[in-house]
Structures are given as structure tokens and as C-alpha cells.
Chains A and B, each alone.
Chain A
């Protein structure tokens, strides 16, 4: 099993005829993802290497049965594209677009919450989601991921997600699903949504969580880890040395006053019983121990064989 995406996920790519959309859409298809359609207003009837393009998401869904959308359009069109996908009835929208104004994000997040509660948004400004061997939506390089579990990954950072996948795959530890929730202030899907989904997924046996400075999502995740989770969590928080008041690349990564510091997040997670690593490599090493301790021969033997 996996969370949010699997073999039954059928994808429509909004912006398939654009440079980014084409590159990643085709790459996702080459990985084995069922990329059934593209959408670009005014370009209906064309195709991109055999993938039919429609004018609207509703048409694409009607024609192909797509149940997920991959949004790869510029910031000014992204809010409309996300809402259009929700209105067309897809249950998952993955938006990789960077630099969407925060006011727009707050607005479409709340519109989705109120008018389309059954549609899940991942992102914006995220690397996407991959269930290795089954489905890859977004920009993650699929060949670094190892199918079969038992670890689920959730991360705010793209490159640190790749780093985490790589560290685990190098050790012979597979992944069920890796979700990049994105570095913006209003992510559609947060740590808590992913932790709950991993907790409910029988194949996920342990979780790696990669956070960073800013906001209080990690602290709230710690409360869930303490109260509602049975599966072990290894965490890493980036930005321990970040100076207050400076945005470290991501719109959401900023320490404001005494809030959002890495120290507070690390303390909360440790108190909740998570193992907290000081760097990505150490997080990988900690996960090796956690997977060994699961006592499941399938996983420990693949570690031992490395």
C-alpha cells in the first residue's frame, strides 16, 4: 500500500504544453505513472507525444477518467487551475508552482476547504509525491526511490526529500510514499495529514519527517506523534543556525521573533518521542536502526545484504 497515490491514480497535467509541464509530465509517464491527459486552454485537440490535450479539466476527466491533477502553470494562473481541477471532481491536485502570492494561497486553500472538501491539494511550491514503483507526480527523480516500503517520508523541502530518499535507498531501505508538502506558508497538505495517513497505511512501518524553520506545523505534528501514533518517527529539522527575520529561500522558512525556531521544533519532537537527527545522513542512519528494530526479516535482510 501507499498513501494518496498508487497504481489506480490517473493523472491529467495542467500545463502539459508548457516547458516544465511537458518535461515533468513525460518524465512521470516514463516512470510508469498513468498520465492520461493534458490541459491547456485553447490547445484542445493537440497531443504531446501521444498524450491528448484538452481545453478544460472537466473535458479531460470525462474523456480519460483522470482522478488526479498535476498543476505546472505560472503563478498567476495557478489559483484558477487548482480550483478548476477541484470543480472537475479530481480528488488529488499536486501543484509544483513556486512564488504564488500568499494572499492567493490563503484564498484558494479556504475555498477548497469549504467548497471541495474531498479534494486534497499537495503544494504549492513542492516537489510532488511518489509511491515508488506505482506512481510519481511532480519533479522527483524516480530512479533514486526504492519500492516496497517500509518507510514513509514527508518533507517541506524538495532537495532534502531527494537526499532522504537517496540515503534510505543506499541503505537498502524502501519507501511506501514520499510526500513533499512544500515550503510555502499555506500548504494544502501538512505534516499532520501525512502522519495520519502513514499511521493508517499498513505497509508503512516507520516515518521520516523533514521539517524546517518557520510556522508551527512541526510542533503540532509533535503533539500528534505523542498522542496518536504507534509507528516510530525519525525527524530532521533544517535551519538550526538561521538568523531571525531572514527568509531562508522558502517563503515559509522564517524565524519571526521567538517563533518558528528549529530549537523549539526539535525539543517538541524529542519530547514527543521522535528520534531527531542533526543532519540528513544521521537521519538515514537512525532509520536503519529503526527498521532493524522492526524485527521484520524482509526489511532487515535487505539492509544486511548491503
Chain B
């Protein structure tokens, strides 16, 4: 789960990581109140989970209430790369002497944590990595040992940060590492990490991605979930505990297993169509799950054809077949289903479906054949 900047800063604060004094606002009035508390000059920042909001005009410095009113009004409701701004973060403007960069994430190749520190913050780290790779100091951290102070000091020194803040920077990294590990984050990134005019460090931005698998030991995450997705299909799927990712095509997809679902999305594209979604019903594809899956896909107005691709391992194809028939009784579908069932009990499943085949429910023996048929149907009804 990606956090908004304001949520990331609040998360940082729990681990003692210094951030600017500020507050969140969903209206101009609230923004005025927060700015009154933190004091002018203030910065108004659009809260969207997408990069490049500064360039898009979503971050403004204001020197008084009139300016703030004008800018907050302009930014609220702004569309930044498809994300509509519903929330603002208002904080006291910082005096910036230097902009640095610091992050922790997992290096999957090394199977160790990776700390990156750079004296060149304020721009995308990918760009720095391309243009000036030597300005990024890297440190691998073995989770068994954790981040040691001497290693933190060393990486700060290698990154070429101002020598006057070396020990403060090492301390900052130790806190950020704790936030990353104990906070069960996949990524914590501070860009920029600023050196203020009076010689201190603090996080001017916060990018935090939490590991959904760790939610069971973080009941407090529940509150962060609000406004997680603006896609109504994804919100609907989440309510039904379905593993769903919305895409933009006309062929709705239901498959079991993440790999097979991904493979089905690819195949639809290879035969000339485009998938409306990725949906993995996992190992429990019974009638209730099929109903839930079909409800979500049926609610997607772009969908003109539905492809069900099941390979039975633990999932028994006969149960899936019964589930689909039951689902078709319970959900009034707008478009036809093409189904391919293979694996455990596939023969029984085909027998169950045989009497019900029609223009609304078509069976194909292979994955490729089913994809072709489903895409043809999507095209024909266009």
C-alpha cells in the first residue's frame, strides 16, 4: 500500500524522524486554519500518489492568507496525471541550504536491504543514477545484523553530505531504518532530505510503501486505507476480497492463480484484444467467489466479453462449472462468457456445462482458443 505524503510524514514522526510542522486539509477553510497554526510562509502540497506534482502546479509557496486561499482553491480538484486532488498538506516553509536523498528498500538480487544516500536530492533518483551514478552511496544491510552506526556514518561520508551534519545524518538513517523494518515498509524514501539554513536535517517529502502482507500485525493501518483507490471496480473487488487490478480493455478476465491470470491478460493482447482487468480467484473458486468476481466485472461498463480461464489443481473444475452456472442465475450478466477449464475434474466440468452452452456461455478446449473467442466476441459487440 502506497501512502500519501502526509501519511508518510505521520508514519515517520512515530519513529522520531524529523518532518516539517504541518497538517492535512480537505478544504480551503481547513488549509487556512492549518497555515494559521504553522505560520507563514507556508507550502501547499497536493496529496496524490503520483510523481511530478510540482511540475504540474500542485506545490505552491504562499506568503499570506490571501495567497493561500487562491492557491488552495486552485489545487483542490486539480487533475494530476489522472489523479484528482482531494487533500492538501500545508506546512511551514523551510529554509533550504542543501537537498539530499535517503532511502531503504529490499535489493532482491542481493537478498539484503539496500540503503541509498546521495548529496543530489530533489530530483528523481533514477535520473541521478543515470546522470551521476557516483553521487549515490550504497550500503547493503544484512537484516540479521541490522544497520550498524559505523556503517551509517560511513555511507553518509561516502555520499558527501555536509560534514557538519554527519552524525545527525547517521542518526537520521538509523531512525529511517527502524521505520522501514519495524514499520514493515517495502520502501521508505526521503527526497528531498533537506539541510536547513540553521544546520539541521529533516524530511521535506515522504514516500512510504507498506507491505500488505504485514497488515495482520499493524491494526493501525486500517485507518490509512481510506481513499486508497479511486477506481470503483478496485474498491468493489477489495470489499469482496478479490485479487483484482483494473485495466482499460473490453475483455473481462477471471483466472485462478496470479501467473495464469497474468498470462491470460497477455494472451488476450496477443490475439488482438485488450483486457479490462487482472483477476485471480485463487484456490477457492466456488459459487460465492465466482458470483463476486462476475459482479465486479459486470459493473465495468467497458467490458463486452468475459473470459474465464481455470486450470484445476486444488481447484476442482466441476466446482468451478457449478459455481459459474450458479453465478449466472444470481447475477444478470450484460455480456457473454467464454470458458476454458482444464486439470482436475475437467471432464466432469465439461459435462456439467454441456447442457447450458449458448450464445451467453461458450466453452473452448484450449486457453488460446478461448482467448480468441472472447476477443472476437468483444470486438463483434463493439
Q: Once the chains bind, are A101 and B144 in contact (CB under 8 Å)?
A: no
Q: Is B56 close to A, CB under 8 A? A: no
* B interface secondary structure, majority: mixed
> In the bound complex, what is the Cα–Cα distance between A238 and B106 (angstroms)?
23
**A-B residue pair count with CB separations less than 8 angstroms:** 163
Name B residues whose Cβ lies closer than 8 Å to a Cβ of A.
106, 108-109, 111-113, 126, 142-144, 181, 184, 186, 211-214, 216-217, 243, 245, 247, 255-263, 265-267, 269-270, 275, 278, 280, 311-314, 342-344, 366-368
* A interface secondary structure, majority: loop
Task: List residues 208-229 of chain A with CB under 8 A from any CB of chain B.
Answer: 210, 212-217, 220
> In the bound complex, what is the Cα–Cα distance between A161 and B259 (angstroms)?
9
- Contact (A160, B260) CB under 8 Å given A102-B213, A110-B142, A249-B243: yes
Besides A159-B255, A280-B263, 14 other CB < 8 A contacts? A141-B313, A141-B344, A157-B259, A157-B260, A162-B343, A186-B111, A212-B262, A215-B109, A216-B109, A217-B109, A239-B265, A239-B266, A242-B265, A279-B266
Q: Once the chains bind, are B258 and A248 in contact (CB under 8 Å)?
A: yes
Q: Pick the contact of B259 from A76, A158, A185, A281 — CB < 8 Å?
A: A158
Q: Once the chains bind, are B258 and A162 in contact (CB under 8 Å)?
A: no
Q: Once the chains bind, are A101 and B313 in contact (CB under 8 Å)?
A: no
Q: Chain B nearest CB: distance from A3 CB in Å?
A: 21
Q: Once the chains bind, are A107 and B144 in contact (CB under 8 Å)?
A: yes
Complex A-B: 13 CB contacts under 8 Å: A75-B216, A106-B106, A107-B143, A156-B259, A161-B259, A212-B262, A215-B108, A241-B275, A242-B262, A243-B245, A249-B257, A249-B280, A279-B263
State how many residues of chain A have any CB contact under 8 Å with chain B: 62
> In the bound complex, what is the Cα–Cα distance between A101 and B143 (angstroms)?
13
> In the bound complex, what is the Cα–Cα distance between A236 and B181 (angstroms)?
34
Chain A residues with CB below 8 A from B270, complex form: 278-279
Chain A residues with CB below 8 A from B216, complex form: 75-76
Q: Once the chains bind, are A158 and B313 in contact (CB under 8 Å)?
A: yes
Q: Chain B nearest CB: distance from A59 CB in Å?
A: 27
- Contact (A163, B311) CB under 8 Å given A100-B213, A103-B184, A257-B126: yes
> In the bound complex, what is the Cα–Cα distance between A107 and B314 (angstroms)?
31
Task: List residues 176-218 of chain A with CB under 8 A from any CB of chain B.
Answer: 183, 185-186, 210, 212-217
Chain B residues with CB below 8 A from A175, complex form: none
Q: Chain A nearest CB: distance from B255 CB in Å?
A: 8
> In the bound complex, what is the Cα–Cα distance between A247 and B270 (angstroms)?
21
- Contact (A212, B368) CB under 8 Å given A141-B344, A279-B270: no
- Contact (A238, B262) CB under 8 Å given A157-B257, A159-B257: yes
> In the bound complex, what is the Cα–Cα distance between A63 and B262 (angstroms)?
44
Output the residue of B112, B278, B313 with the most chain A CB within 10 A.
B313
